[in-house]
Amino acid sequence: MAEIPPTRASLLVRLRDPQDQAAWTEFIALYGPLVYNYARKQGLQDADAADLGQEVLRAVAGCVGRLEYDPSRGSFRNWLFTVVRRKLSTWRSARGNRVRGSGDPATQQLLEQHPAPAPDEAEWEAEWEDQVFSWACAQVRKDVTDSTWQAFWRTALEGQPTKRVAAELGLTPTAVYLARRRVLARLKALVRSVREP
């Protein structure tokens, strides 16, 4: 249940084994929301973002199977970004053609005067940072009780006094203190495991 999380490189190597369902599950939990949320922020409707996410993740998993993962050629998430960027531009040009065929000229002109923002690497990096945090929290949340999570969140991240939190959760102050430390240590290990050098 609470093994030390694998490094990115080893997850990508495991992904090459089609039998390794656990590696695939881990992979989509981390990168699925990243691609989906980024696509949404780039202006895609939810269904389109989901289609794009599905296409990108499958394509990437296929590539990992064929290529040796080589961190010296750049980080995995930069590589993923180039795939996302390419699919987004394909999606945009397909939509452009469709709109041109049906819309009235005035509307079309208006649309062309306000082109969609170019996919921005800084936005991708920001989305990644957010996803690292959300993913790590979700992983830990599965392994701890509700009161442990609350004790951690309220004391470590919201700065509430230990005694009050302990009283409200029906825990001893030491238990709250333990929760705060244990959860943070685990979160830090998870974050470290997905951050590439």
Partner 1 sequence: MTASLDCPGTEGWQSLLDLDLAPDQLSRWERHLQLCPACQDRLDRAAADEEEFRKWARRLGDPTAAPTDPTLIKLLERLKEGKGPPAPVDAADLYFLRPSDRPGVLGTLGGYEVLEVVGQGGMGVVLKAFEPALCRFVAIKVVAAALAGSATARRRFTREAQAAAAVCHEHVVAVHGVSETGGWSG
User: Which residues would be at the binding site for partner 1 (CB under 8 A)?
Assistant: 1-4, 15-16, 18, 20-21, 23-25, 27-29, 32-33, 36-37, 40, 46-47, 49-50, 53-54, 57-58, 61-62, 64-66, 129-130, 133-134, 137-138, 140-141, 143-144, 149, 153, 156-159, 172, 174-175, 177-178, 180-189
Tell the smallest beta-carbon distance from residue 116 to partner 1 (Å). 20
C-beta of residue 35 within 8 angstroms of C-beta of residue 44 = no
Please say which residue, 77 or 183, places its beta carbon nearer to partner 1: 183
Please say which residue, 137 or 169, places its beta carbon nearer to partner 1: 137
* Residues with Cβ within 8 Å of residue 151, at least 6 apart in sequence: 165, 166, 169, 171, 175, 176, 179, 180
Please say which residue, 105 or 159, places its beta carbon nearer to partner 1: 159
- Write the burial class of residue 68 (CB in 10 Å: 0-12 exposed, 13-18 middle, 19+ buried): exposed
Tell the smallest beta-carbon distance from residue 115 to partner 1 (Å). 25
C-beta of residue 179 within 8 angstroms of C-beta of residue 156 = no
Phi and psi torsions of 68, nearest 5°: -70, 135
Tell the smallest beta-carbon distance from residue 145 to partner 1 (Å). 9
CA 95/CA 105 separation, integer angstroms: 16
Please say which residue, 55 or 108, places its beta carbon nearer to partner 1: 55
